Chain A
Amino acid sequence: MAVDVIPSKAGARAGRQGLGIRCAPPLTLLIFLGPVAAGLIGTLLPAFGYLPALGGDQLSLDPWRALARYPGVETAALRSLMTGLIATGLSVALVLYFIAAFHGTAWFQWARTVLAPLLSIPHAAMAMGLAFLLAPSGWIVRLISPWATGFDRPPDLALAPDPYGWSLVLALVIKEVPFLFLMTMGALGQVPAQKSMQIAQSLGYDRATGWLKTVLPQLYGQIRLPIFAVLAFSVSVVDVALILTVTPSPTLGVLILRWANDPDLSQNFVAAAGACIQCLLVLLAIAIWVMGERFISWLGLAWIRKGNRRAPHGVKQLTLTGMSLAAGLGIAGLMGLVIWSFAKRWRFPDSLPSVWSLDNWGRGFARVAEPLATTLWVGLAAAGVALILVILCLEAEQRTGRRPTHRALWLLYLPLIVPQIAFLFGAQILMVVVGIDGHWAGLIWAHLLFVLPYIFLSLSDPYRALDSRYARTAACLGASPWRVFRQVKMPMLLRPILIAFAVGFAVSVGEYLPTVFAGAGRLTTLTTEAVALAGGGDRRLIGTLVVLQSILPLILFAIAAAAPFLIRRAAFTGKKRL
């Protein structure tokens, strides 16, 4: 990652030990960012009418005119912007106030235990669970029908998916709360939260007020990038929007995908122009957010100066309710789909299936075997390659003493902030040129783009936090850098490494657009299959796909948690001879 580094004079001497490894950061960047840039250009040119294969051989503004003429494009863009901003705002507020009011309490421990596994559940899985839960023929209505509602047919109401985007906002909040919660927890370790709180509380501030007034201002800078990533994701998300918006009221991302898939190939130009608008929309969202930040910090400063010691009444309960609701809906939706995967007949308004069956897991398993295998291999390969690159970069960083600056960290976040559809569209043409479209290599690379940043974020702190004196001691015992790496650092970092791998794998399992574009229909994963069915497909099959989607990352996390323990136990009991 170390492109933009703080220069160091003595680096050269220390670096002599690992000449090869010093190529790792530039190599990683090349694999990582080069295609993103190329993809953006491949989107920008068709947006101005240039795509010779489709007869566009000179620049023009026609695609933009066609875009502007398309019915409903402004409302779709506005819908994307608003749902993204509201979902991000709600998630951030919920997480920060929850941490402020409950850190150090039993509720807090509860949230940690519940939210961590939810983080690994793919967005699409969560959205589909929510869709089943809230639909007019969904689980909640079933549970209270017909005895309480009198419905023997589903009510004719658009609950989820809905035309306004509320269910989309809800799904995004459910998914982003765990992410922001854990990112904030990580950042908390880097500021003197404990001491600030002690001082604030000794001055008579209650827990939440003290935290908001003393810790949050120090903390916010650390979680700003993750918040931007969440915002950009929410504004441009496609899979969740496909599941939770109604056909006539799509978001911009859904429209772009529709144009890109249109049989009338000239719509590709419109799609490219739309993808550019999507980029601008993300920038606009970030600009609005930054203005909001200013406003809130101005309000906050006034609040601090007033010296209030107590948080407003009821906000605490509201936050707790919000958190419980988010986690509860997420889990209940998934439970509903688990039940579907064991159902044969489950008609409205039955609360539970009338005929149960193991067919979906037995005879019907052939339906999911292929996407399951693809998901597994792509996830393992992308996470594996990304892990190696990240470890090499971190090792290079330690050996050369060069650390990425804040600006370099922005580069890392780039694929998370630039809307996926904007560069995947162009990257697809690139992949055809190289000849890896619809092949494993292309798919793994496309996943790598999104897996790598998360692995880096997950592993860099523990890697840097490892007491460097262990490595120095080992070196002074005569161990070569390679041996130190292999026999000291790797075993000591085994747990964070395995967790980073599991994080990367979970990210890969959840990817939708990269699979759609790079898999070119040939390679499909559990996620693309499930999203394809979301509109009205067999819920038993959806259930099976979603269960697999959710359980694969959990299995990896379980292995990551258990393996170091088992290996270590073997290390201490297996050598009685000494």
Chain B
Amino acid sequence: MLFTRGGLKKIMLAMGLLAAFQLTPPAQAQEWSQIEQKARGQTVYWNAWGGDEAINAYIRWVGERVAEDYGVTVEHVKLADTADAVRKVVAEKSAGRNDGGSVDLIWINGENFKAMKDQALLHGPITDTLPNYALIDTKANPAVELDFTIPTEGLESPWGQAKLVFIYDSAVLQDPPKTMIALQAYALAHPGRVTYPAPPQFLGTTFLKQALYEVVETPDALLQPAGDNFESVTAPLWAYLDKIHPALWREGRDYPDGDDALIRLLDEGAVDFALSFHPGRASSAITQGLLPDTARTFVLDGGTIGNTHYVAVPYNAAHKEGAMVLANFLLSPEAQAQKQDPDIWGDMTVLTMDKLAPEGRALFDALPRGIATLSPAKLGPTLPEPHPSWMTQIENKWLERYGS
């Protein structure tokens, strides 16, 4: 026998170190290889919204790949609402379970992230540990480190980007309205054909933000926390909504639940526009038989709101290493390209193409673009999310004015 068992292990470790050496500083590499070792054999409970079968299927694929390459088993804990996972971590903290927690990784952003960050319920910073995080040029794309204007501080790892798009049926409508004001005019001319989900549903909140950006006099104020200026800044929004509401679907007495519901209403012909945060959504809905193949996507002239979604590890996660390996795999060109494939999910990548090796870039170049998906150039500028303090107040005021 040439090597003892221990000797072989040392040599393999050294080879692994050597290979990693060329890419990253040794301390991080060593740490990462230890994480990978610890992760092997772990089962990661990934709490992720489970309402979209295309996404669920993608997550299943991720699970298979991570099991193959890293020996990590992924259990997709399908949430109806991400807040469920937050509540669980809170419940565990209140029960004194500070380790061995049942949530290992959460698909998260916005208010849920803010809630967990504020209560110190997150493990990390983690992003500097993830080797693939280097594939994001955070200088060129600072938005990935600002989650609804809240600095992520490395506590969550970017996974994908969303951008508000509008969907219409080109067989019904030739020239869709390209501004929120034009949409208001369309609604008044065609009562009952326009609607949006009720806040605090995020797509509904985004619709309000989109209108806010267009009608507000000083858009820059929205990036700072709301203060005494709330009434004066938002007054044009309420004027806009007061005018459009009587002309909404069901005269504004009912609202769809989200983009699935909007797509169903569009397909039935009950409304003329659907909203989605996924630029590829119209194409995938056509493939799934949920929309006619005449459905198309458009964006507004001044740009639409976009944001980043992330994964984060709770402070008490039982399988932190497995969760980190999973988070790192999610940032690999392979996983990101697969995710951006419109036939699979169609979610925009967070990676910076310039940072990728040619093979990695080729994966993205080879992606088909569905017939109803806009090219990156036509997707237009991305507007940043306003500071959350605006939306909390706007949601409350909306509920008071139009809620019941």
Residues of A with Cβ closer than 8 Å to B? Answer: 51-54, 71-72, 75-76, 136-137, 152-154, 156-158, 161, 163, 246-249, 260-265, 268, 344-345, 347-348, 355, 366-367, 428-429, 432-433, 435, 437-438, 516, 520-522, 524, 528, 532-533, 535-541
Residues of B within 8 A of A516 (CB): 80
Task: Select from chain B the residue with minimum beta-carbon distance to A523.
Answer: B77
Residues of A within 8 A of B110 (CB): 263
Contact B80–A429 (Cβ < 8 Å) = no
Within 8 Å of chain A (Cβ to Cβ): is B354?
no
Q: A438-B102, A536-B260, A537-B51 are in contact. Are A156 and B270 (CB under 8 A)?
A: yes
Stretch at the interface among B82-90, B129-137, B155-163, B324-332: B82-90
- Least CB distance from B184 to A in Å reads 18
27 contacts between A and B (CB under 8 A): A53-B94, A137-B268, A152-B269, A156-B270, A246-B254, A247-B255, A248-B253, A249-B404, A261-B81, A261-B84, A263-B86, A263-B111, A263-B115, A264-B392, A265-B87, A268-B90, A347-B267, A347-B292, A348-B268, A348-B270, A521-B88, A535-B256, A535-B260, A536-B265, A537-B260, A539-B264, A541-B53
Contact B88–A71 (Cβ < 8 Å) = no
Contact A522–B77 (Cβ < 8 Å) = yes
Residues of A within 8 A of B47 (CB): 521
Contact B53–A367 (Cβ < 8 Å) = yes
Within 8 Å of chain A (Cβ to Cβ): is B181?
no
Q: Which of A158, A268, A536, A540 contacts B256 (CB 8 A)?
A: A536
6 more CB-based (< 8 A) A-B contacts, given A137-B268, A261-B80, A521-B77: A53-B93, A71-B404, A263-B82, A344-B289, A521-B50, A522-B77
Residues of B with Cβ closer than 8 Å to A? Answer: 45, 47, 50-51, 53, 56-57, 75, 77-88, 90-97, 102, 110-112, 115, 119, 191-192, 198, 200, 249-251, 253-258, 260-265, 267-270, 288-290, 292, 392, 399-400, 402-404
Contact B91–A437 (Cβ < 8 Å) = yes
Compute how far the CA of A355 lies from the CA of B53 in the bound complex, rounded to whole angstroms. Answer: 21
Contact B81–A536 (Cβ < 8 Å) = no
Residues of A within 8 A of B267 (CB): 347-348
Contact B94–A248 (Cβ < 8 Å) = no
Task: Select from chain A the residue with minimum beta-carbon distance to B255.
Answer: A247
Task: Select from chain B the residue with minimum beta-carbon distance to A152.
Answer: B269
Residues of A within 8 A of B88 (CB): 432, 437-438, 520-521
Residues of A within 8 A of B45 (CB): 522
8 nearest CB pairs, A to B: A536-B261, A53-B94, A535-B257, A72-B404, A156-B192, A246-B254, A153-B269, A263-B111
Task: Select from chain A the residue with minimum beta-carbon distance to B263.
Answer: A536
Residues of A within 8 A of B290 (CB): 538
Compute how far the CA of A51 lies from the CA of B261 in the bound complex, rounded to whole angstroms. Answer: 36
Contact A71–B400 (Cβ < 8 Å) = yes
Residues of B within 8 A of A521 (CB): 47, 50, 77-80, 84-85, 88
Residues of A within 8 A of B95 (CB): 53, 429, 432-433
Task: Select from chain A the residue with minimum beta-carbon distance to B285.
Answer: A538
Compute how far the CA of A533 lies from the CA of B269 in the bound complex, rounded to whole angstroms. Answer: 20
Q: Which of B57, B97, B262 contacts A536 (CB 8 A)?
A: B262
Residue in B45, B192, B251, B254 with the greatest tally of chain A CB atoms within 10 Å: B254
Residues of A within 8 A of B251 (CB): 156
Task: Select from chain B the residue with minimum beta-carbon distance to A522.
Answer: B77
Contact B94–A54 (Cβ < 8 Å) = yes
Contact B90–A53 (Cβ < 8 Å) = yes
Residues of B within 8 A of A533 (CB): 51, 260
Q: Which of A52, A247, A437 contacts B257 (CB 8 A)?
A: A247
Residues of B within 8 A of A163 (CB): 253-254
Contact A528–B80 (Cβ < 8 Å) = yes
Compute how far the CA of A248 lies from the CA of B245 in the bound complex, rounded to whole angstroms. Answer: 14
Task: Select from chain B the residue with minimum beta-carbon distance to A429.
Answer: B91
Q: Which of B57, B115, B191 contacts A264 (CB 8 A)?
A: B115
Contact B253–A262 (Cβ < 8 Å) = no
Residue in A152, A156, A262, A347 with the greatest tally of chain B CB atoms within 10 Å: A156
Task: Select from chain A the residue with minimum beta-carbon distance to B101.
Answer: A432
Compute how far the CA of A75 lies from the CA of B112 in the bound complex, rounded to whole angstroms. Answer: 29
Residues of A within 8 A of B258 (CB): 535-536
Task: Select from chain B the residue with minimum beta-carbon distance to A357.
Answer: B289
Compute how far the CA of A337 lies from the CA of B51 in the bound complex, rounded to whole angstroms. Answer: 19
Contact A532–B51 (Cβ < 8 Å) = yes
Task: Select from chain A the residue with minimum beta-carbon distance to B250.
Answer: A158
Compute how far the CA of A429 lies from the CA of B90 in the bound complex, rounded to whole angstroms. Answer: 10
Task: Select from chain B the residue with minimum beta-carbon distance to A531.
Answer: B80
Q: A263-B86, A264-B115, A521-B77 are in contact. Are A248 and B254 (CB under 8 A)?
A: yes
- Least CB distance from A355 to B in Å reads 7
Residues of A within 8 A of B92 (CB): 432
Q: A247-B254, A260-B87, A438-B102 are in contact. Are A136 and B270 (CB under 8 A)?
A: yes
- Least CB distance from A158 to B in Å reads 5
Compute how far the CA of A539 lies from the CA of B102 in the bound complex, rounded to whole angstroms. Answer: 33
Residues of B within 8 A of A51 (CB): 94
Contact B256–A248 (Cβ < 8 Å) = no
Residues of B within 8 A of A347 (CB): 267-269, 292
Residues of A within 8 A of B264 (CB): 536-539
Compute how far the CA of A314 lies from the CA of B255 in the bound complex, rounded to whole angstroms. Answer: 41
Q: A158-B253, A520-B102, A521-B85 are in contact. Are A248 and B198 (CB under 8 A)?
A: yes
Q: Which of A246, A263, A344, A355 contacts B253 (CB 8 A)?
A: A246
Task: Select from chain B the residue with minimum beta-carbon distance to A153.
Answer: B269
Compute how far the CA of A268 lies from the CA of B77 in the bound complex, rounded to whole angstroms. Answer: 22
Q: A54-B90, A438-B88, A535-B261 are in contact. Are A248 and B51 (CB under 8 A)?
A: no
- Least CB distance from A17 to B in Å reads 44
Residue in A152, A246, A432 with the greatest tally of chain B CB atoms within 10 Å: A432
Residues of A within 8 A of B403 (CB): 71-72, 248
Residues of A within 8 A of B269 (CB): 152-154, 347-348
Residues of B within 8 A of A246 (CB): 250, 253-255
Residues of A within 8 A of B82 (CB): 263
Contact A262–B83 (Cβ < 8 Å) = yes
Contact A524–B78 (Cβ < 8 Å) = yes
Compute how far the CA of A342 lies from the CA of B399 in the bound complex, rounded to whole angstroms. Answer: 40
Compute how far the CA of A137 lies from the CA of B268 in the bound complex, rounded to whole angstroms. Answer: 7
- Least CB distance from B125 to A in Å reads 22
Contact A265–B270 (Cβ < 8 Å) = no
Residues of A within 8 A of B91 (CB): 53, 428-429, 432, 437
Task: Select from chain A the residue with minimum beta-carbon distance to B48.
Answer: A521
Task: Select from chain A the residue with minimum beta-carbon distance to B396.
Answer: A71
Compute how far the CA of A432 lies from the CA of B91 in the bound complex, rounded to whole angstroms. Answer: 7
Residues of A within 8 A of B78 (CB): 521, 524
- Least CB distance from B278 to A in Å reads 16
Contact A536–B257 (Cβ < 8 Å) = yes
Residues of A within 8 A of B87 (CB): 260-261, 265, 268
Compute how far the CA of A261 lies from the CA of B255 in the bound complex, rounded to whole angstroms. Answer: 19
- Least CB distance from A74 to B in Å reads 10
Contact B198–A247 (Cβ < 8 Å) = yes
Residues of A within 8 A of B292 (CB): 347
Compute how far the CA of A557 lies from the CA of B381 in the bound complex, rounded to whole angstroms. Answer: 60
Contact B270–A154 (Cβ < 8 Å) = yes
